[in-house]
Structure 1
Amino acid sequence: MVKKHCTFWALLIVSVFCGATKAQVLTKPYSQIEGGIVVIVPHSLNGVRLVRLQPVNASIIHVTLTPDSAFNDSPSLMAVLQQHSTTKFSIQYSNSEVALTTDSVKAVVDVRSGLISFYDAFGHVLVKQSALPYSAFTKSMYGGNSTYRISQYFDSQNNEAYYGLGQHQQSIVNYNGRHVDLIQNNTEVAVPFVVSDKNYGLLWDNNSITTAGDIRELQSLYALKLYGKGGQQGWLSASYNLKNNPDQKIFEQPISELDYNWLSDMKKFPYKVKMEDAIVTYEGAIEGDQSGLYQLQVKYAGYIKVWLDGKLLADYWRQPWNPATTILDLNLQKGKKYQLKMQWVPSGSESYLGVKVLIPAPSEVKNTFALSSEAGSTIDYYLIYGKGADRVISGYRTVTGKAVMMPKWAMGFWQSRERYKTQDEILNTVNEFRTRKIPLDNIVQDWSYWKENQWGSQEFDRTRFSSPEGMIKQLHAQNVHFMISVWPKFYEETDAYQAFDKDGFLFKRNIANRQRDWIAQGYVSTFYDAFNPNARKAFWNLINQKLYTKGIDAWWLDATEPDILSNASVTDRKMLMEPTYLGSSTQYFNAFPLQNAKGVYEGQRTVNPNNRIFILTRSAFAGLQRYAAATWSGDIAARWEDMKAQIAAGINFSLSGMPYWTMDIGGFAVEQRYEKPIGTDLDEWRESMTRWYQFGAFAPLFRVHGQFPYREIYNVAPQGHPAYQSMLYYDKLRYRLLPYIYSLVGATYQQDYTIMRGLVMDFPHDNHVKSINDEYMFGPALLINPVYKYGAKSRSVYLPQSNGWYNLYTGKYYKGNNTIEADAPYSQIPVFVKAGSIIPFGPDLQYTTEKQPDHITLYVYAGADAKFTLYEDEGTNYNYEQGKFTEIPITYHQSTQTLTIGGNMHSYTGMLKRRTFSIVLIKPDDAKKLDFSQKVNTTVTYTGTELTVKL
């Protein structure tokens, strides 16, 4: 592992403590360095010895803390900044405080305690380090390397809200008072970046497993006082009945904890009953010795129901091979017993159930937000100031890299399936889409296109894919792109394994364990070490030679946690990737997906610098956006509660600084009743797909994927069915919205914009929106309200404080700061347009490049001034990085009711020099439907020079 040892600080400390007088120390307990200052803390409150502050720009301060006499700096994997900046700053020292001040931010270090406080330019507190008596550094060792477990507490302001932290599945948006584990898992994504609604963010530069928020350890169920169903204290009563004969009890026992959390825990299940045959009921009572919020974390696979005092709190299901985690909030009164009942029906011989509890926070940590990581030589983070979440996220991208632009075709519709087994299945699917005139831009080949024993060969099985090159040419001829699944996994039988093994590029523990996977009789495999730059190059060279040269358009990087052995414990997972090229797997655990994507991005950009790269990856880490990578939410289940959970998952992933997110529309894994649904199950399946599809049309990426039953529109329902008609409507609407959507894509690069927007981003002064987890903005204009309840014909919608809102479909006007019961017929989800919006709609399309957008309809929603910038470029290359794009500013002035289409800014080869704009004005007293055949207010011809229209 490469390290830079900074002996300067050791010499500085010696001069202060050994060669300087006490008066000298008190006069100047800091030293100015290139790009910042170092403050010496003789008697730290929590073990900090040196504090280093380095402005990145006027709004970002890089903070590094160490308990040692020198900084032991390792190269950052997430940050891409140069070592020193030229940002102007001043230094003041008085009353034992050292202050570093830029034009926007002031950081103050208390020399007596080592605590840091941050302020904006007006002296308003952003965040202060907490004055808690804790150790920021605890010595540890991993893989023979000495390190520290590190922690930092910050005081929360009144009613402060916290967002970001990656992607999680508990339907929580605001993490104030929550315990958030940042660990890469299928469906859970760790990104150590948090955005506060108090105009700042914290980027925690650490690659190890991290806990954020309330970092106290979750406790076993027996942290509560437990009572059996007969009233005995000390346990709950567990009864095991036969699944196929629920009245037949097999076994009964007391239990005080539930910890079937990992594959290795399966042996704990009572030997007297087979897990796959059982229904298990846990019942009794719980009691706490203090009043407050008890957060019950339930990890489950199979069916789980939870009741408290007879009230059903949870009724969930998750496939057995990929458990989910939910949080149940229990508001308990001190000394009061509450009847608790849980019913678990395992799905198969390997199902999971674990229950832990976070007890009410003690007063000293109740109003704090903390970060704690397993391993690090220093505490290393960036304080990012910004007036609003967009500016904070812009600061994050300043540190970690721009979100490079995706190809325009990626904004169209993607069809995927687990899996297309033959070449003919892919071609027939595309033919069906084109015949039925269902818009489509991308089809995806999932895993196992290779021969059974050739995982990692990256070679098609020619008995099923006789001519991959010819197949891809046919797809391209039909204006369809082709994405392929590539795993970092290698079977021993492959030539690629032998080559990578020879060069030392593989993690070998799974090989030594002779652990077999789940394919047929099982094969021994492992993953490559993506932390090794030469291994990354070898991986790219392999997929370039075997796949990219055949015409592949995009990469699906699956299992990038890395998922070497599913459902292994955290300890086992770390052992399976020990050691990494850079050092201990503990120290670098969370960064694998970043390094894996880096190798593919850099490799393709070297081989073909013209075509935009597109990567879809199951996991992510801070900085992923610079590698043209989007993330999907993993192998979620096809349940209504899972659909709802994706709303918050996508919001917080986007607030983590990464604008491209998607999900398996329809959910990946289905209950057995859906595999061949009939009757009421078929009805529910079709409605679920329809509602999910409606939601997905307004996600950054519009992608259908899942197991059987097949997810193509025509396989969900026949053409005349309401499900078919609704899905087709939203597919077509997505393509009509391409001028709007692609302009948002342009803004993600040009202005560091975010497409899927938590309501706090656009309505920061509306306290009602802080914890809303089922609504979001899609760009600046559209308020999206997915329907996630079976049979619902309406849903409650909060319309944030603004100048008003319009129903997208009818044009009806509503006041802001208003909760309504919005119509939600089978065919539609509620979508509202903010007053003071301009939405450009393009032509009816079958694929993104079918027609030039030479006729755009501008829907102008009056009630406030409005603006929108129409962005266009060449769509598939990187010329935009050299300024080859156009931006047309469009503004509406409410007082004069005039629309101005500004002069065309910039240019590119092939740009439209003449186009038509049709304008539809919608006002509170003049509702107009979303109807592209209706009479417009006016039509103008635009040739690139500014024009103004009176409406």
Structure 2
Amino acid sequence: MNRVFALLIIILTVITNSSAQTYLRTDLGIKTSIGDTDYEIQFFSPSIVRVLKSPEESCFSKESLSVIKKPQKTDIDIRLDGKDLILEGDDLLVILNMNKGTVSFETSTGQPLLSEKEASAEFTEFNDAGNATYNVSQSFKLGQDEAIYGLGILQNGKMIQRDLEIRMVQNNTQDFVPFFQSNKGYGLFWDNYSPTTFSDNKEQTTFSSEVGDGIDYYFMHGENADSVVAQMRELTGQVPMFPLWTYGYWQSRERYKSQDETVGIVRKYRELGVPLDGIIQDWRYWGNNYLWNAMEFLNEEFYDPRKMVDDVHNMNAHMIISIWNSFGPETKPYRELDSIDALMDFKTWPESGSFKWPPNPDYPSGVRVYDAYNPEALDIYWKYLKKGIFSLGIDGFWIDSSEPDHFDPKPSDFDNQTHLGSFRKVRNAYPLMTVGGVYKHQREVTSDKRVFILTRSVFAGQQRYGANTWSGDVVASWDALRKQISGGLNLTLCGIPHYNSDIGGVFLWDFQNPLQNADYRELYARWIQFGAFCPMMRSHGADAPREIFQFGKKGEPVYDAIEKYIKLRYSLLPYIYSTSWHVSEHQSSMMRALVMDYPSDNKVLDIDDQYMFGKAILVCPVTESMYNQDGQADFGSVKKRELYLPGGTQWIDYWTGEKREGGQTINKETPIDIMPIFIKAGSVIPIGPDVQYAEEKPWDNLEIRIYEGADGEFTLYEDENDNYNYEKGLYSTIRFSWDDTKKVLTIADREGKFPGMLQKRKFNIIKIASDEDTGKESSEKFIQKVLYSGERINIKL
């Protein structure tokens, strides 16, 4: 027998319980049948394994919508040990019990990670709009005290996703990703797009999906949460960089009703001297509902859209605009999509042709959702988007209702046929397909402008498409504010790093006269503080306008608090942009659940209202009212917020410089303009100039803050800010290293270059230290100015 034949088709026979068990070795792993079920185990890499199961002789195969990684040749040893077929790689052991048909996973040293529950793979015959297929289900056994995270953006306020049952069908305020990762260092991706139920109880953890020709899941192992995120991105796609301007402050409203109003908001911010990088134009710029999403400015209040965009640009701001996944019957895209049978038939928004509320059923809008699974439909969508919107110089797209809206769903709605089968079969992947279509088409047109998409829904793999997902149209409340934190952190733990929420909440149903309501004004100020430490800082809402000048004027507490955090955001842009590069280049995350950095501290595992922003800044949002007294603002008293400082390090209060030991719960004073922020000892943080927009001033005079108490480092990243030349290597990095024992800061040789790069610059080095007696900051005496021309410098502080 030659070697190739041995590697590809070796058939081994083992006698077990008087029955013959065989398996076929493949290039990627093995195939076998146990009972009436076919199995295939594929190694995609030493740390990623795919498991497929299907009814015997059903010839199950599938091209994933989420997974883009091609399997790599992986050295694995395959052997039989009694009833167990063992596949051993450098990182993982996969064990298939040839009697029971259960698959389990262990580390290369034999440490158990996860196992299937016995006899838990289920295939129930199902008629999917005339196609014979199955309901599929698989259960797993988790440790009693095991913590798992992920599943998308859930409005359940939970950090650990145990002891729950959720119905996964994309909707306005919940975005489902059938993936979780464990504090044991592994992740599980259930690769199915149909309506799915995830349930976890003491007996088992289960994924059950309505449609599947087979069971298809991926298991990945990592040393920590970052490593699991990296594996998920390796599997489903890496994160492109956003433009620098997207990390500034964004103002929006439902809705700006005219061209003059939109431009006027930008002008007002410039007059006030409050930083702003973007304005968002919401819906109905196209006119009436029968012209829904025409992708043209047909509303007469927008009399010269090109001039509107130019006026915004001339004030050094950017504009993104609302587009939808549905079209009114009087639009050109509708007619062309209908001609190729690429419109679906179910109730969506808007329900009526009239703007009045509630919708008048006597005048249905006729709006229909397009088939985003159809490549030809995606081409048509982009044709009209490019001609009517992108050609005007619009900077990005707000893809609203990307789940899409599906009202009063009936079983027959899911029988709608898409390019890839029934809508039921592919339901949850809709946002991935529509967002991906816009991204791919824009990349084909130009590399001079980075794709930026703000969107309401998300699915596994969407991080590869230049999209930032917001948490939907949440109703404003203190409880809702808190739930946005755990929602964003769990999405991040799915490998999808860009998240934001509508600052202030969309609907103000619980507030009378909200702009004069002390409780709402306090809530808005606290939401702004949280938003300053999200990947996108964006104010938006209905029922009342949200611009800063709606909350008073300079010198008044709420106005001043809002302005303070907008300016704080801009001061941190060098830190934020460098962190965004680390997300793209090194598979990191911007919003970081505390378990990511402090996995050995059991007290952080279920903290749902604190997180790290980058690897240096601990953020502790205020999520309950403190200064509303019977409808009146009482800013005279100073309340406190209880918080936990993770163990294993020291923490420095950002506001006072006071140093605290980790591993303790403390109370921090939180007047209306203070959200607790702590800096990890050993951090190096660059502080940018005072600006009105992100690119107003070069970073030629940065402040470099050293928070002593431990060794640390930071890499400052710079490029051209808004094109894809960085993918060709046109960028530079400068590494700062702090030796806490020697009190020496090393600025390394600059690496890389790009057009327009600063050749010489000044760094203002500030060591943040604490007075041993008072605990208060005493950094002023440690200021040192350094001229830097790209060569290594050692600075003794």
TM-score by length of 1: 0.78
Distance in 2 between residues matched to 1:917 and 1:30, nearest whole Å: 64
Q: Sequence identity of aligned pairs in percent?
A: 38
Q: State the match for 1:414 in structure 2.
A: 250
Deviation of the 1:409 alpha carbon: 0.5
- Residue 177 of structure 1 is aligned with which of 149, 160, 163? 163
Paired residue type of 1:188: Q
After superposition, residues 775-814 of structure 1 pair within 5 angstroms as: 775-791=610-626, 793-814=639-660
Q: State the match for 1:328 in structure 2.
A: none
Are the structure 2 counterparts of residues 527 and 140 from structure 1 closer, same or farther at C-alpha, using a change threshold of 3 Å? Answer: same
Tell whether 2:504 aligns with 1:708: no
Q: State the match for 1:32 in structure 2.
A: 25
- Residue 858 of structure 1 is aligned with which of 704, 709, 716? 704
Tell whether 2:1 aligns with 1:163: no
Distance in 2 between residues matched to 1:373 and 1:929, nearest whole Å: 57
Tell whether 2:599 aligns with 1:751: no
Q: State the match for 2:377 in structure 1.
A: 535
Q: State the match for 2:633 in structure 1.
A: none
Distance in 2 between residues matched to 1:651 and 1:866, nearest whole Å: 25
Distance in 2 between residues matched to 1:549 and 1:935, nearest whole Å: 54
- Residue 101 of structure 1 is aligned with which of 82, 85, 88? 88
Q: Is the CA contact 1:506–1:527 (under 8 Å) kept in the aligned structure 2?
A: yes
Aligned residues: 771
Are the structure 2 counterparts of residues 573 and 663 from structure 1 closer, same or farther at C-alpha, using a change threshold of 3 Å? Answer: farther
Q: State the match for 1:121 in structure 2.
A: 108
Are the structure 2 counterparts of residues 419 and 154 from structure 1 closer, same or farther at C-alpha, using a change threshold of 3 Å? Answer: same
Q: Is the CA contact 2:769–2:777 (under 8 Å) kept in the aligned structure 1?
A: no
Distance in 1 between residues matched to 2:113 and 2:188, nearest whole Å: 11
Q: State the match for 2:131 in structure 1.
A: 145
- Residue 372 of structure 1 is aligned with which of 202, 208, 212? 208
Are the structure 2 counterparts of residues 766 and 909 from structure 1 closer, same or farther at C-alpha, using a change threshold of 3 Å? Answer: same
Are the structure 2 counterparts of residues 616 and 929 from structure 1 closer, same or farther at C-alpha, using a change threshold of 3 Å? Answer: farther
- Residue 622 of structure 1 is aligned with which of 438, 454, 460? 460
User: What does the per-residue CA deviation read over 1:311-348, in whole Å, with 9 as the maximum and x for residues that have no partner?
Assistant: xxxxxxxxxxxxxxxxxxxxxxxxxxxxxxxxxxxxxx
- Residue 652 of structure 1 is aligned with which of 487, 490, 493? 490
Are the structure 2 counterparts of residues 154 and 615 from structure 1 closer, same or farther at C-alpha, using a change threshold of 3 Å? Answer: same
After superposition, residues 416-455 of structure 1 pair within 5 angstroms as: 416-452=252-288, 453-455=290-292
Distance in 1 between residues matched to 2:99 and 2:172, nearest whole Å: 45
Q: Secondary structure at the match of 1:192?
A: strand
Q: Is the CA contact 1:165–1:182 (under 8 Å) kept in the aligned structure 2?
A: no
- Residue 212 of structure 1 is aligned with which of 175, 193, 198? 198
Q: Secondary structure at the match of 2:433?
A: helix
Tell whether 2:308 aligns with 1:471: yes
Tell whether 2:411 aligns with 1:574: no
Distance in 2 between residues matched to 1:96 and 1:70, nearest whole Å: 25
Paired residue type of 1:836: G
Q: State the match for 1:69 in structure 2.
A: 57
Paired residue type of 1:574: F
Q: Is the CA contact 1:674–1:709 (under 8 Å) kept in the aligned structure 2?
A: no
Deviation of the 1:675 alpha carbon: 4.2
Tell whether 2:335 aligns with 1:498: yes
Q: State the match for 2:791 in structure 1.
A: 945
Tell whether 2:50 aligns with 1:57: no
After superposition, residues 838-917 of structure 1 pair within 5 angstroms as: 838-917=684-763
Tell whether 2:37 aligns with 1:202: no
Q: Secondary structure at the match of 1:137?
A: strand
Deviation of the 1:424 alpha carbon: 0.5
Tell whether 2:499 aligns with 1:661: yes
Q: Secondary structure at the match of 2:726?
A: helix
Q: Secondary structure at the match of 1:375?
A: coil
Distance in 2 between residues matched to 1:581 and 1:619, nearest whole Å: 21
Deviation of the 1:517 alpha carbon: 5.8
Query: Quick check: 497-506 or 814-823, which moved more?
Result: 497-506
Are the structure 2 counterparts of residues 817 and 510 from structure 1 closer, same or farther at C-alpha, using a change threshold of 3 Å? Answer: closer
Q: Is the CA contact 1:456–1:497 (under 8 Å) kept in the aligned structure 2?
A: no
Q: Secondary structure at the match of 1:555?
A: strand
RMSD after superposition: 2.4
Distance in 2 between residues matched to 1:180 and 1:834, nearest whole Å: 36
Paired residue type of 1:556: W
Deviation of the 1:390 alpha carbon: 0.6
Are the structure 2 counterparts of residues 515 and 485 from structure 1 closer, same or farther at C-alpha, using a change threshold of 3 Å? Answer: closer
Deviation of the 1:34 alpha carbon: 2.1
Tell whether 2:469 aligns with 1:481: no
Deviation of the 1:371 alpha carbon: 1.6
Distance in 1 between residues matched to 2:794 and 2:50, nearest whole Å: 47
After superposition, residues 709-724 of structure 1 pair within 5 angstroms as: 709-724=544-559
Are the structure 2 counterparts of residues 776 and 515 from structure 1 closer, same or farther at C-alpha, using a change threshold of 3 Å? Answer: closer
Paired residue type of 2:377: A
Are the structure 2 counterparts of residues 836 and 651 from structure 1 closer, same or farther at C-alpha, using a change threshold of 3 Å? Answer: same
Paired residue type of 1:54: Q
Distance in 2 between residues matched to 1:514 and 1:639, nearest whole Å: 26
Deviation of the 1:636 alpha carbon: 0.4
Are the structure 2 counterparts of residues 677 and 494 from structure 1 closer, same or farther at C-alpha, using a change threshold of 3 Å? Answer: same
Distance in 2 between residues matched to 1:155 and 1:420, nearest whole Å: 52
Q: Secondary structure at the match of 1:801?
A: coil
Deviation of the 1:373 alpha carbon: 1.4
Q: Secondary structure at the match of 1:72?
A: coil
Deviation of the 1:437 alpha carbon: 0.8
Distance in 1 between residues matched to 2:540 and 2:499, nearest whole Å: 14
Distance in 2 between residues matched to 1:931 and 1:527, nearest whole Å: 60
User: What does the per-residue CA deviation read over 1:94-114, in whole Å, with 9 as the maximum and x for residues that have no partner?
Assistant: 212112222111111111111
Q: Is the CA contact 2:284–2:299 (under 8 Å) kept in the aligned structure 1?
A: no
Q: Is the CA contact 2:9–2:26 (under 8 Å) kept in the aligned structure 1?
A: no
Distance in 2 between residues matched to 1:383 and 1:464, nearest whole Å: 54
Query: Quick check: 935-944 or 798-807, which moved more?
Result: 935-944
Gaps of 5+ in 2: 1-7, 628-638
Q: State the match for 2:174 in structure 1.
A: 188
- Residue 241 of structure 2 is aligned with which of 385, 405, 422? 405
Query: Quick check: 122-131 or 416-425, which moved more?
Result: 122-131
Distance in 1 between residues matched to 2:399 and 2:770, nearest whole Å: 48
Gaps of 5+ in 1: 1-10, 215-360
- Residue 599 of structure 1 is aligned with which of 430, 437, 453? 437
Distance in 2 between residues matched to 1:803 and 1:75, nearest whole Å: 46
Deviation of the 1:70 alpha carbon: 4.4
Distance in 1 between residues matched to 2:198 and 2:406, nearest whole Å: 26
Deviation of the 1:40 alpha carbon: 2.9
Tell whether 2:666 aligns with 1:824: no
Query: Quick check: 915-924 or 201-210, which moved more?
Result: 915-924
User: What does the per-residue CA deviation read over 1:409-468, in whole Å, with 9 as the maximum and x for residues that have no partner?
Assistant: 100000000000000001111111011111111100011111113112111135201111
Distance in 2 between residues matched to 1:676 and 1:686, nearest whole Å: 7
Distance in 2 between residues matched to 1:560 and 1:183, nearest whole Å: 13
Q: State the match for 2:427 in structure 1.
A: 589
Distance in 1 between residues matched to 2:50 and 2:155, nearest whole Å: 31
Distance in 2 between residues matched to 1:721 and 1:183, nearest whole Å: 44
Deviation of the 1:685 alpha carbon: 2.1
Are the structure 2 counterparts of residues 923 and 159 from structure 1 closer, same or farther at C-alpha, using a change threshold of 3 Å? Answer: farther
Distance in 2 between residues matched to 1:704 and 1:664, nearest whole Å: 6
Are the structure 2 counterparts of residues 553 and 92 from structure 1 closer, same or farther at C-alpha, using a change threshold of 3 Å? Answer: same
Q: Secondary structure at the match of 1:504?
A: coil
User: What does the per-residue CA deviation read over 1:123-155, in whole Å, with 9 as the maximum and x for residues that have no partner?
Assistant: 211111122x44522221211112221222221
Q: State the match for 2:67 in structure 1.
A: 79
Paired residue type of 1:412: G
Q: Is the CA contact 1:527–1:564 (under 8 Å) kept in the aligned structure 2?
A: no
